[in-house]
Structure 1
Amino acid sequence: MKLLYFFYSILFTLFLYNTTYAQTSTCKISGIVLDDAKKTLDGATVVLLIAKDSNVVSTQLAKADGSFTFQNLKDNTYIIKATYIGYKNYLSSPVTIGQQKTISLPAFTLSATGKTLNEVAVTGKKSYVQQKIDRTVVKVGALISNTGANALEVLSKTPGVQIDADGNITFKGKSGVMVMIDDKPTYLSAANLATYLRSLPSSALDQIELMDNPPAKYDAAGNAGVINIKTKKNTTRGFNAVATASWGRGVYGRTDESINLNYRIDKVNFFANLAYNNQKTYRRLEIDRIFFDDNGNQTSSLKDISYFRPSSNNTNIKAGMDYFLSPKTTWGVVFTGTLSHDHDSSPVNSLLYGQGGGLDSTIQTLNTSTNKFTSKGVNLNFTHKFDSTGRAFTFDLDYIRDVSGSNQTFVNNTFLPDGTLTNSQTITDDLPSIINIYSAKADYTHPLKGKAKFEAGVKSSYVNTDNAANYFNVIDNVSTVDYNNTNRFIYKENINAGYVNFNKAFGRFSIQTGLRMENTNGNGHQLGNAQRPDSSFVKHYTNLFPTAYLSYNIDTAGHNVLVASYGRRIGRPSYGNLNPFTFFVDKFTYFSGNPFLKPQFTDDYKLAYSFKSLFTIALAYNRTTDVHNETIHKDGNVFISTTGNIGVQKTLDFSISSNLQPTKWWTINLYAEVYNNKYQGAFYSGYLNQSKTTFSANGNNQFTISKTWSAEISGFYNTSGAYGQFVSIPTGMLNAAVQKKVLNNKGTIKLSVRDVLKSFSPSGTITNIAGATATYHNFLDTQVGTLAFTYSFGKLTNTPAKRNTGGAESEQGRAH
């Protein structure tokens, strides 16, 4: 907390400085940095020097469009120096501020150089991974092996991100990450989020932003940080489109088709992203359980072998219009839609053994399920820029409606070792769910003197969820209600939030700090039935979430940079996890909700050092209280899985990322981290005290064979890790791909193979189960070959970027 107080004392001093600053000069020098091909050099270092003695006045990085501006300058003669990795330095002619107060310089053109740095040549080519003060940006299209993949598979290859066999996402060793699509969080239940991400093709994705400590502008939800998946946005005048089609083969075949359309005429811009995929996958899950009495003697054991072969059809649509009322004012509307159908017939063979190890009985379960998920959303947005300094106001209104349904049939047949049928049980269920999300937010940005900026905003959201679980016992084709498991759960939640954010650059220092307040009001009602009474709960809490970043350029050129940061975040229970309904997997495995689940809170501390764009090293520590994690306990010989608060998690993380180019035709991107997870807290009938140190590495090699041919080899490896009760074994994956440009570079043919060695097999041990031990082993359909074709057509004249995101940020998806 001392570090936090230090940051806020600096912020207070800076506010006093700005209110007493008497400098009235409006002199400024602006320009743009380009390369030999006249393309902008985003992130080029621009240094303002006094011509007389070369003393540094100010240093800044060029913006995404290559532009830079030095403001509030005194009368003097200056020289401007521009540098970029892999390019020769540029030094301007003397520029004099005197009678002329505003000077716009001709474009700076930097020439590429072939010089080496420590035997490694670095060019100006943008990296697959880029580091910024508050986030890491990953370019999806930079990896050929991403072709034909879905969003969940793309995430599995992203630095610091791990995906388990059920689609659960962890980031830097922590669960509870907030996943966003175009700045709109969609933290569904793990199952629904995985379904949605599998329906989103990589061809629709542009980049992934990884934020372990997001700024105050973002919702505080997501204790592990934010993963923001940005979809492609076409911003060109006239009509243009990009179409992609792919076919892949693993155990079964799969197809992906998508098209990104844009049409701009006069003051109106129309856009649409359409995607469809059809896939069938395979998974075999083996779970071994051993049961003990109070004296530790083995009483029985159980082996489950489950087969999953889900087939799904998924359609995603995003369409909208921008109306440019004036050069400063824009209105926009965006419609989104998702339709997902899947069917699965999952047989389970359960072998129950007695105390002496002999087979007692066999249970054969056939689980047949049909699932449907639809999501419809509309966003109305407004942007007004008051002047050229960046002062702006925006607001968003959102409405989202998610509807899902699941129908399942469980047939359990029990046999003696000789094959005699001793019992037959049939259970059916109907699990409908409806979620309505309403959201409104407004943001204001105001530049201040002395390279400072102030931001503020407010947001209010309301969510109404209605989940039902209808279970029936079927005997002689007659269905009767199972009142022990049937229920209906209604949950309503209102969150009101406001934030302020301030950033300023002074000399070699830059500071960004903010404070967000969120007020949460929840009301849950579980309706009773003929055998069970109603129950309800009400929750009200208000919390403050500070964030702070302090950056220091060690040298005048800004090549060596230190960044320290702090942030506090919250992880609210998903709406579905609060619902105490029961979901059956087989006769010995259930999932259940938890209405007593409390929010979790995380404090993050981080110190990072970057050298140019070559490498970044970081040391991070975070502490989470009331940690959400999947927990396993048993009732007899039935394992029940639920999300619970399991005490305190402490994570210490050391990471390093590097971007190198040993030769002109070979580019290397590497990321590695070592983190220790430690869990401590009361846990069912005992105490959980689990700790594990994990090494994780992720890398890719890109090869330029010729002007039209390129190739890639990528992969990742993770050692054993601890995640609550679960301890995983090492696993990894190797991918390879080749690409050929055709049709005057408007078309691209790509061939990729994912999991070449078929080595990705998430498995491990479940610990801290009273009276039992358990291990699990997954065999997945991850070895997939994909052939894809992409074609681009239309005009290529740039226009201002459109708004196609909204404000229903941390609500969508918690509804399940």
Structure 2
Amino acid sequence: MKTTNFIFLAMLTYLLGISNLAAAPKEVAKITGKVADQKGQPVAYANVALIQEDGALVDGAVSDENGVFLIESTKTAKVKLVVSSIGYESFTSEPFDLAPGVSKDFGDLSISDEMTGLDEVTVKASRPEIIIEPDKTIVNVEGTVMAQGSNALDVIGRSPGIYVDQEGNINLNGRSGATVMINDRPTYMSSTDLANFLRSMPADNIKSIEVINNPSSRFDAEGSAGVINIQLKKNSVDGVFGNVQIGGQYNGQFAPNTGLTLNVKKGKLSTNGTFNYNEYAVYNDISINRNFTLEEGVSNFNQDSRINSRYKTPSFNGSANYEINKNQNIGLNVQASASTDINKSTSGTVITNPGQDYNSFIESYNDAEGSRNRLFTNLHYDAKLDTLGSKISADVDYTIMDSESSSLLDNMYWSGDDQASASTDKILTLNDMYYTIFTAKTDFTKMLKGGKTLEAGLKGSWVQSDNDLDLSRAEDEGPFVPDPNSNQFIYNENVLAAYASLKGSFSEKLSYQAGLRGEYSDIVGNSVTLNQINKQNYFNLFPSFFVQQKVSEKYQIVYNANRRITRPNYRLLNPFVYYIDPLTSEQGNPNLKPQYSTNFEMNHVVNGSYQFTLGYSVTEDTFMQVFEQDQEERTTTTYTDNFDQTRAANFRAIVPVEIKKWWSTSNMLQVTYNQFQTQIGENFLDVDQVSYMVRTQQNFTLPKGFKLELMGMYLGPQIWGQGSIGGFGWVDAGVTKSLMKDKLSIAVNGTDLFRTQFINAKVQFADIDTSFRQYRSNQGVRFTLKYNFSKGESFRVRSNSGSTEERNRLD
């Protein structure tokens, strides 16, 4: 470990040394200041521009969270400083001379409110505004039809390049494994728990969603699909505001939801808290047809199942921030949830065997229930080091998760020639899991000479999980006896990381950001029952590089490249066996290795709105679900394994159009070419396919305060490991109405209006011949009634955590 620490210290020192050497002095003009409102509170994200007398833009910047701005320019001109922000009167300075070497500090700039009280604040936006930055795309959700009556998972699924499947798994640019953060901090949940948590979060509490396709070295290297960061609304000046809402969804079953949000700021202390209760009811109809090739012919299993599930998720998200002084802040964030689920399934299987003139039957009933508790705490500190934007921050996170689940699978078999009697067996599964995650990190930003910015940081994470799977069986009327596939699995993972990056410009039209991140992983998986210990330790470097080329005022190109890692979900490393039904089981794989991806992207941005992106990625040891059939036992086993290599090339276009003042549309097309190559047993898999995704969103502002949104989406056929999935699509609609000067709003949303979201898939590889058809109860209607309240001074809603990667692997 001493050697490891020395490696990280040496690497960081080396990178810092290179950065300082690279910071060759270049004379520039520096214009600084701080934007504040009439109460002296900072105005974040204000536009600050240097404008010539004829109105031409010379240079500009945006104020940071503390209202501070810095403009560096190599140009010579006579300019005015213009400051503007939504909800404020603009500020314009007297003309002054701009030239390299000039330094001008405007100090505190006070701008006046356009509105005088909370009751006067209205929102007129009818669709999310998409802001394209060099390293991310920002979707402004606040005040849109999208936000009213929807939840966070819905909004994420409608963001550029994102598709959320029927199970709630999030895919970004055709790749799974996207990392989801809330206010720059991790969520620490499995994919199932995360989906339920996001369903319980009203979209109206969201300010914006940041989509980061290729994260810089500042982010964890975990996650080949990129980062999705949800920014929640905050209160920036003294006062109280919040909302209470109630609603429900009906899709054959009724599921209620309610929530309360309260934000309070007084002086240097600001607090906010959100409590939500959400129920999610769903049925899942599945038809599976399997053919088993025997010496005497083909045996056919035709299975129809229905799974009825109900999830109940109460959750709380609270934070407090204290401004120690104008340069230092300290804060606390607490997230808690306690979810329960009930799943009841029934299935019937008709078996046709060669040489028999009768059919056999299997009936199965599975009653399962579970509970999951999660507590996440974060303590953070940040400090400004100078007026130029240098700063340092530190975060400490601690997460506890525990879950309990049980299922009783009851199977009855009729041989076909004797329908009067049946044999039975029962499988009882008890599963207890417990996780603790501790992370600590620090980040440092230093403004250097020549307009360069240095970022560096350190992080450590320590994870421990204990998974106890207890299986027992009973045949006919006999007692339950222990199953040899029971297993206790203890997993420990320590990851140490360091990074450094340098941002600057080659010229007025060419800027860059280059970074390097190193991560050392030490992993021990201990199967107590099998007395089997698997150890892994490895060190990897993850470079990232961005170049932004301003071809003209209306056209820019962003080039980026990086390397990423995706570590296996902790649960998948457990050598467990879980029986889904008498014919199908799922197994863990303790030999599962991390997957590594190298990604390249070229993004063309026209008029700040139209986006055309070309991307290419190569992934080694790709995670993929594998199907195996036992021809003699006529059973199917699934597990996750590493495919040798996958390649993907993609094109994405985002085209927003304002057709009329009352009608706007946002359209997206994504085309992806995928190629998989790997050895599975004695067979070599080499498949490729072009798939595509089309989405259009139509927004209408109607008379008498009504707003209407229509969304249509279609996914073309695509590769699915050894198999393929057919194309499918659906249409959603939503209408909102505001009352009482926007204090009260009513929203009604319909999903899968024409009941077309069917999934058809097949696996025909080697001796496997399986097809299935699935419909999850997506067709339904959701209504929401929301009341906004506020008290206090005028305010403006405006917009830091370590352990992002660990939460995604708790499945």
TM-score (norm 1): 0.87
Match of 1:19?
A: 24
In structure 1, list runs of 5 or more residues that go unmatched: 1-9, 112-122
CA contact (8 A) 1:57 1:507 kept: no
State the aligned residue count.
773
In structure 2, the CA distance between the partners of 1:521 and 1:81, relative to structure 1 (3 Å rule), is same
Aligned counterpart, 2:166: 165
- Deviation at 1:166? 3.2
**SS at the partner of 2:608?**
coil
Output the CA distance in 1 between the equivalents of 2:65 and 2:126: 14
Q: Which moved more, 1:734-743 or 1:488-497?
A: 734-743
Call closer, same or farther: CA 1:411–1:334 in 2, change over 3 Å: same
Give RMSD over aligned pairs.
Answer: 3.5
Cα distance in 2, alignment partners of residues 410 and 448 from structure 1:
65
C-alpha contact 2:48 2:81 (8 A) present in aligned 1? no
Kept in 2: contact 1:220–1:569 (CA 8 A): yes
Q: Cα 1:240–1:182, aligned 2, differ >3 Å: closer, same or farther?
A: same
Deviates more, 1:337-346 or 1:166-175: 166-175
Out of 587, 598, 602, the residue aligned to residue 603 of structure 1 is 598
Q: Can you list the C-alpha shifts for 1:303-353, whole angstroms capped at 9, x where unaligned?
A: 121111111211111123222221211121122101101111111111111
Quick one: which of 716, 736, 742 aligns to 2:713?
716
Identify the residue that residue 305 of structure 1 maps to in structure 2.
Answer: 304
Q: Could you say which residue in structure 1 is the equivalent of 2:228? A: 227
Which letter does structure 2 place at the counterpart of 1:28? I
Alignment of 1:28 with 2:57, yes or no, is no
Gap change, CA 1:798 and 1:392, over 3 Å in 2: farther
From 618, 622, 629, give the equivalent of 1:623: 618
| Rounded Cα–Cα distance in structure 2 between residues aligned with 1:550 and 1:487 | 50
Q: Judging changes above 3 Å, is the alpha-carbon distance between structure 1 residues 55 and 708 closer, same or farther for their aligned structure 2 residues?
A: closer
Residues 234 and 593 from structure 1, CA distance in 2 versus in 1: closer, same or farther, beyond 3 angstroms? farther
What corresponds to 2:254 in structure 1? 253
- Matches of 1:14 and 1:265, distance apart in 2: 42
Does the 8 A contact of 1:234 with 1:261 survive in 2? no
Contact kept? 1:204, 1:275, Cα under 8 Å: no
- Amino acid of the residue matched to residue 227 of structure 1? I
Matches within 5 A, 1:315-354: 315-354=314-353
Give 3-state SS (helix, strand or coil) of 1:646's partner: strand
Whether the aligned pair in 1 keeps the contact of 2:233 and 2:797 (CA below 8 Å) is: no
Measure, in 2, the Cα distance between the counterparts of 1:101 and 1:772: 73
Match of 2:365 in 1: 366
Separation in 1 of the partners of 2:515 and 2:127?
30
AA aligned to 2:24 is T
Whole-angstrom CA distance in 2 between matches of 1:406 and 1:525 = 22
Q: Which residue of 2 aligns with 1:375?
A: 374
- Corresponding position of 2:280: 279
The CA distance in 1 between the partners of 2:64 and 2:78, in whole Å, is 24
What CA deviation, in whole Å up to 9, does each residue of 1:67-121 have, x standing for no partner?
A: 864346788633679999xxxx999974335999445899999x9xxxxxxxxxx
* Other-structure match for 2:446: 446
Task: Please tell me whether the aligned partners of residues 313 and 340 of structure 2 are also in contact (alpha carbons under 8 angstroms).
Answer: yes
* Residue type at the aligned position of 1:648: Q
CA contact (8 A) 2:143 2:204 kept: no
**Cα distance in 2, alignment partners of residues 250 and 20 from structure 1:** 64
Q: Percent identical across equivalent pairs?
A: 24
Letter in 2 for 1:521: D
Q: Given the superposition, is the C-alpha separation of residues 331 and 65 from structure 1 closer, same or farther in structure 2, using an over 3 Å criterion?
A: closer
Cα 1:797/1:55, change in 2 over 3 Å = closer
SS for the counterpart of 1:580 is coil
1:418-497 equivalences under 5 Å are: 419-475=419-475, 479-497=479-497
CA contact (8 A) 2:196 2:311 kept: no
Q: Supply the AA of the counterpart residue of 1:226.
A: V
Q: Which residue identity lines up with residue 250 of structure 1 in the other structure?
A: N
2:534 to 532, 537, 556: 537
Report Cα offsets for 1:371-394 as digits up to 9, x if no partner.
101101211111111232211111
Aligned to 1:585: 580
Say if 1:303 and 1:622 are closer, same or farther in 2 by CA, change over 3 A: same
Secondary structure in structure 1 of the residue aligned to 2:758: coil
Distance 1:704 1:437, change over 3 A: same
1:790 CA drift (Å): 1.5
How much has 1:513 moved relative to structure 2? 1.6
Matched, 1:552 2:555: no
Report 1:95-174 matches (<5 A).
95-96=96-97, 101-103=104-106, 127-141=128-142, 144=145, 147-174=148-175
Matched letter for residue 238 of structure 1: G
Partner of 1:288: 289
2:644 is the alignment partner of 1:647: yes
Quickly say closer, same or farther: Cα 1:199–1:737, change in 2 above 3 A: closer
> Deviations for 1:461-496, whole angstroms, at most 9, x for unmatched residues?
100000011011235776444342111000000000
2:662 to 665, 669, 680: 665
User: Does the CA-based 8 Å contact 2:188-2:804 persist in structure 1?
Assistant: no
Question: Does the 8 Å contact 1:300/1:357 carry over to 2?
Answer: no
C-alpha distance in 1 between matches for 2:266 and 2:110: 29
Closer/same/farther in 2, CA of residues 229 and 708 from structure 1, 3 Å limit: same
Q: How has the CA–CA distance of structure 1 residues 55 and 269 changed in structure 2, closer, same or farther, with 3 Å as cutoff? A: closer
Which 10-residue stretch deviates more, 201-210 or 503-512? 201-210
- The one-letter amino acid paired with 1:332 is G
Q: Counterpart of 1:120?
A: none
> Which residue does 1:117 correspond to in 2?
none
Deviation at 1:431, TM superposition (A): 0.3
Distance in 1 (alpha carbons) for counterparts of 2:610 and 2:62: 17
8 A Cα contact 2:622 2:644, kept in partner: yes
Deviations along 1:218-251, one digit per CA (max 9) or x if unpaired, are 1010112222333443444222212221122111
Name the CA shift for 1:33/1:264 in 2 (closer, same or farther; >3 Å).
Answer: closer
Q: Take 2:22 and 2:789, find their aligned partners in 1: how far apart are those partners?
A: 53
The answer to whether the Cα contact below 8 Å between 1:346 and 1:368 also exists between their aligned partners in 2 is yes
Deviation at 1:127, TM superposition (A): 3.9
Q: CA deviation at 1:66?
A: 9.7
Q: Which of 553, 564, 586 is equivalent to 1:569? A: 564
- Answering whether residue 522 of structure 2 is matched by residue 521 of structure 1, we say yes
Query: 1:597-648, CA deviations, whole angstroms, 9 ceiling, x for partnerless residues?
Result: 0000000001111112331101000000000011111233111111110121
Report the Cα distance in structure 2 between the residues aligned to 1:438 and 1:453, rounded to whole angstroms: 30
Q: CA deviation at 1:569?
A: 0.2
The answer (yes or no) to whether the contact 1:600–1:625 under 8 Å persists in 2 is: yes
Report the Cα distance in structure 2 between the residues aligned to 1:40 and 1:298, rounded to whole angstroms: 76
* Offset of residue 190 of structure 1: 4.0
Alpha-carbon distance between aligned partners in 1 of 2:331 and 2:58, rounded to the nearest angstrom: 41
Distance 1:332 1:33 in 2: 22
Tell me the equivalent position of 2:742: 745
The alignment partner of 2:24 has SS state of helix
- Opposite residue 652 of structure 1, the aligned amino acid is A
Q: Judging changes above 3 Å, is the alpha-carbon distance between structure 1 residues 105 and 472 closer, same or farther for their aligned structure 2 residues?
A: closer
- Contact residue 561 and residue 609 of structure 1 kept, 8 A: yes
> Which residue matches 1:393?
392
Residue in 2 aligned with 1:267? Answer: 268
- Once residues 197 and 356 of structure 1 are traced to their aligned partners in structure 2, the CA distance between those partners, rounded to angstroms, is 53
Q: Mean Cα displacement is larger for which, 149-158 or 94-103?
A: 94-103
SS in 2 for 1:167: coil
Query: Could you state the TM-score of these two structures normalised by the residue count of structure 2?
Result: 0.88
In 2, Cα distance between the equivalents of 1:43 and 1:677? 42
What amino acid does structure 2 have at the position aligned with 1:181? I
- Distance in 2, Cα, partners of 1:707 & 1:689: 58
C-alpha distance 476-416 of structure 1, shift in aligned 2 (>3 A): closer
Moved more, 515-524 or 133-142: 133-142
Q: CA separation in 1, counterparts of 2:109 and 2:382?
A: 31
Tell me the SS of whatever aligns to 2:688: strand
- Classify 1:232/1:421 alpha carbon distance in 2 versus 1 (closer, same or farther; 3 Å): farther
- Please tell me whether the aligned partners of residues 250 and 781 of structure 1 are also in contact (alpha carbons under 8 angstroms): yes
Provide the secondary structure at the position in 2 that maps to 1:576.
Answer: helix
Q: Structure 1 180/508 Cα, relative in aligned 2: closer, same or farther at 3 Å? A: same
